[in-house]
Amino acid sequence: MPKRILLIGGPSTGKTTLLKHLKQLGHPCLEEISRQVIQKAQNQGIDQLFLEKPLLFSELLKDARIDQWQQAVEYKNENVFIDRGIPDTVAYMDYIGQVYPDTFIEACTRYRYDSVFILPPWKEIHVTDSERYESFEEATKIQLHLLKTYKDYGYHPVEIPIGSIEERGDFIVNAIRN
């Protein structure tokens, strides 16, 4: 069974770009699904589902991330890289002060990842768009919630240094080999 290698970090830390690079190197990658959930809601007339119905948004993400966790076993490779994990939903709800049912805690406990890498806030690459609305300051606060949440669930996130996409890719590939 392949190892589930998770990439986490606040908005605009370079996760998607790094994942695309890893995919170009031949590694199987499961992309972030929140943009799909957001775009579907926007097509239904809900501008920001997370802001308008945070619990519904988080339920949809949790369920989709459980599906991704289960999909990882379909790969014959040694590792599968995943953009964001189940505990991200808890971190974001804690960030906004949203109360959530125990099903979130149970999912975080049941579906475990083999390694977690965190990309730090990087002001020079931070951008906003129709799905990513957080300011750099908000992204930095989210980062702290992510780090706390993953540590609370027993993970030891390894920080990927700021650098070129090749340097970041080399860092993560070398780290999982050791």
Looking at residues 61-72, what average pLDDT do you find? 93
Looking at residues 159-173, what average pLDDT do you find? 95
Task: State the pTM of this model.
Answer: 0.89
Domain definitions of the chain by residue range: 3-177
Architecture of domain 3-177: 3-Layer(aba) Sandwich (3.40)
| Residue 98, burial from CB neighbour count under 10 angstroms (0-12, 13-18, 19+) | middle
**pLDDT > 80? residue 7:** yes
